Structure formats: structure tokens, C-alpha cells
A and B are shown apart, each in its own frame.
Chain A
Amino acid sequence: MRAFELTAPTTLDEALTSGATALAGGTTLVDLMKLDVLTPPRVVDINALPLRGIEVDPAGDLRIGALERMSAVAAHPQVYPVISRALLLSASQQLRNMASIGGNLMQRTRCGYFRDVAMPCNRRDPGSGCPAIEGANRMHAVLGTSDACVATHASDLAVALVALDARIELVSTQGGRSVALADFYRLPGDTPEREHDLRPGELIGEIVVPRLDWAARSTYVKVRDRQSYEFALCSVAVALDVRDGRVADVRIAAGGVGTVPWRLTAVEAALRGGPADEAAFEAAAQVAADGARPLSHNGYKTALLPRTVVRALLEVSRG
């Protein structure tokens, strides 16, 4: 690990003007600093900042402070099942006790080349190349990829939040701004090193999940190599509103398959108004992987994605 200067301010102003890299739970940052993937000269421990609290506001929106731990959010009774499930299927109980939800949304890809400074990687070292495209790409993305980068976004929480149209409130000394989480993440394109829309001097302050009463009927299905403590090969977040046997409304997003959390709007449109049964779910899921660009070792994901969508829909419609 490279040497760095560490401060721990107690006010937002001090943190926002520090120009230093934020440290929350450290489960991404300290890991990548040990690997020399990240070498910040200055680090600001933000844990004493007032970015906490989990509450439902008067409008019925759920507001969660960025420093709340994954374990605390998962256990909170007013958090929608799809969010709790996504968190409880993430990492391990120790990591969930450490990691903040703001840090979770800012975590970096698990692409093995990105994590190994001996290898080229466009995301870590722009212009150096992408060995994954011809290399070990079994875990990599099939949707939203470019010739520069094919890495997946690794957060399970982000998939659940994108399905629910969540926003993030960004704080800075210039005031605040509110961004839809789906717009916050950038496709890699020619600039995979630009992963998101956070500007220098900004922090994620709060996550806001708009009121959606029927999201009480929601779930998260995660398919992975091990039953527990593993990243997704494919995951699906679903919220489903069934009335009189028909799909009144539905929200679906997928993880493990895209370079960003992947909203499945075409599947949602195919389901809306139709019967809430297995045949209709299977028919609608056929468009889930439309536009997929499989690589040498991850073609299975184009088949796994529609199947995971069907499983998630069946689970939530029976549940």
C-alpha cells in the first residue's frame, strides 16, 4: 500500500473541501489500495459525518443515509423486500457489518484484470487494452459492453434500486443535486475509466426510493457459482403488482450481465396487462437478452438471463 494522509472530519464542509478520497467501510477502498489499484495520496474517513438514518418521509418515500451499513438497511422493517434480499445475498455478514450503502453503489468491478496491476486494463489504465475480451471472460458482461471494456457492475443493491427508480442525493459545497441512479452509471463506451456521474467534491448523501406500495411484493434472485458469499453470474430484481390474475404493473432489473445495472423495460412492457402466469412470463422473458454480445466464455448468460427472470417472476407471483 502507498503512503497516504488520513483525516477524519466531523462536518460535511471539511470533508467536501478536503479533495481527498472518501473512506466509508473500506471494503472496496482498502482492498484496492492493498493491491495498488488505487493509490490516493489523501484519504478522508467520512464515518463521523451526519449521513445516517433510515426513514419514510411524509410523501412515503424511503430515505436512507449513505453511511448506513448494509446489515442495518437489510434488517430495517420499512425497506422493500427486494432491497433486503439483494443485500442479504451480498458478500458476508462481516462485510455487511462494515460496508456502507453509499460505498456499495461506488464499488468497483471484480474483473480480475482490473484488480491485477501487472495486467493491462482500459478501466484502470486508459488506452492500455482489454485482455478480458479475448481472455478469461466467463464472469463478464454481455449487455452494454464496448470494444474498450466488458466488465460487469458488481453491486446487487444497485440492481434492486434501479428496478425501483431510486434516486441519489449528491451533496457538495455548491449545494445538492438529485440524480436517478439509472442515469448515474455510465456505459463504458470509449471511456470505461469514467464509471459514474459523481463530480469532484461531491459525496452521495442519501438514497431515495420513491413510494411504491405494491413493492411489498418483490424479490431478488441471484444465481452464482456457490450458494453463498459469491458475486452474481446473473441476478434479477422484480416487483410485481397482480390484480385479478393480470399484471397491473411490474419492475425488473438484472445484474451480473450488464456493464451497468440493467433495467429490462422491454420485458416489463411485454408483461403489463397480460396474464400473470408461467406461459406469459416465459414469453415476455424471451426479449430479456436482446442486444446481447456474448464473448468466448460467457454465452451461457444469454440463456441464463431469461430463465432467471422467469424464476423471479414465479417466486414473487406465488409468494
Chain B
Amino acid sequence: MDITLEVNGETRHLSIDPRVTLLDALRERLGITGPKKGCDRGQCGACTVHVDGRPVLACLTLAATVREPVRTVEGLAADGRPHPVQQAFAEQDALQCGFCTSGQVMSAVAAVEQEVADVREFMSGNLCRCAAYPNIVAAVEQARSTKESADARV
């Protein structure tokens, strides 16, 4: 079937089998390989992307059912500068092998936007095989305080 996806602000047309997940459409058909395939069963969070601004699991989403804009980690940087959450991950050394990182970052962006009270609880759907958890939490908290001070300035 023919579908249209809006990914990171660009409109893309695809002809796919209904079985194709959003994750496979992004990675295999559109060459957008930031979202990772960890478990492919909705259990690890490595494939987390935003649909209509909300984090979802691309591996359990059929591409043909996506009606709203998709944002992946590739769409976060603006004007060649990393997103504040990406900057915080780099500064806090919040990764080891990096396989889970794009999913962690997409959830972290939502955590900062939603001003969540309990970072560890909110981030529990993103597993890290390297157990970089303390630094991931530190990065989310840093990004949150950066945002708070930016909000206070306006």
C-alpha cells in the first residue's frame, strides 16, 4: 500500500506491505537509522521516536497507521547545534556503547518538556544494557535545570 509519512519536517512517500513497522520503514526504507532495533518486541525502548510530539515505540507501530508527524533523534538538532538534552548527555557522559542512546534521548526530551517529577520512573521504559543509568538520570536533570533557567530568563 502507498503511505505518506512526515519525518523530521519532510514529507516522504513509500509503498509498503502492511506488516512493515515504523521502525523498519525509518531504518530500512528511509535510511533514518537513529532509532535502534533492540528487542523488536516493545520491551527495551531503543526504538523510541516521537509521533505527534509523544514518545512511542516504533517497533510496535505499523507504519501504515501513522497519521501524525514523526520526529527522530536526527530531527532534534537545530541550526547545526545539538538539542540541550543531547548536549547534557554528552556532558554527563550518559552512554557507554550508545546503542540505547537515541531512545533514551527521545524519552528524555519528553521528560524535560513535561517537567516530570520522577525522572527514574519516567525513564524506566528505556533499558540500558551498559547500565549507564546514573549518568542518564544526571543528564536529564541537567537538561531540566538548563530549561528552568532558560524559562526564568524569558
Residues of chain A touching chain B, judged by Cβ–Cβ distance below 8 Å, are 1, 3-6, 8, 23, 26-27, 30-31, 34-35, 43, 45, 47, 71, 91-95, 97-98, 227-229
Contact = CB atoms under 8 A, between A and B. Distances in A.
A4 B64 CA distance: 12
A92 B55 CA distance: 10
Contacts of A3: 17-19
Nearest to B64: A6
Contacts of A93: 55, 107, 110, 122, 125
A106 to B, nearest CB: 16
A290 to B, nearest CB: 34
Contact of B45 (A1, A92, A227): A92
A23 B67 CA distance: 14
Contact of A98 (B61, B110, B124): B61
20 contacts: A4-B19, A6-B18, A6-B64, A27-B60, A31-B60, A34-B41, A45-B62, A92-B45, A92-B124, A92-B126, A93-B125, A94-B57, A94-B107, A95-B125, A97-B54, A97-B55, A98-B61, A228-B124, A229-B124, A229-B125
Interface of B: 1, 17-19, 21, 40-42, 45, 48, 54-57, 60-62, 64-65, 67, 107, 110, 120-122, 124-126
Contact of A91 (B21, B41, B125): B125
A6 B57 contact: no
A272 B42 CA distance: 43
Contacts of A26: 60-62, 65
Given A1-B19, A3-B17, 15 more contacts: A6-B1, A6-B18, A23-B62, A26-B60, A31-B60, A43-B18, A45-B64, A45-B65, A47-B67, A71-B54, A92-B125, A92-B126, A95-B42, A95-B125, A98-B56
* B42, B54, B67, B110: residue with the most chain A Cβ atoms closer than 10 Å: B42
Nearest to A30: B60
A216 B153 CA distance: 39
Given A6-B18, A94-B55, A31 B64 contact: no
B121 to A, nearest CB: 5
A34 B40 contact: yes
A45 B1 CA distance: 14
Contacts of B121: 228
A188 to B, nearest CB: 25
Contacts of B45: 92, 94
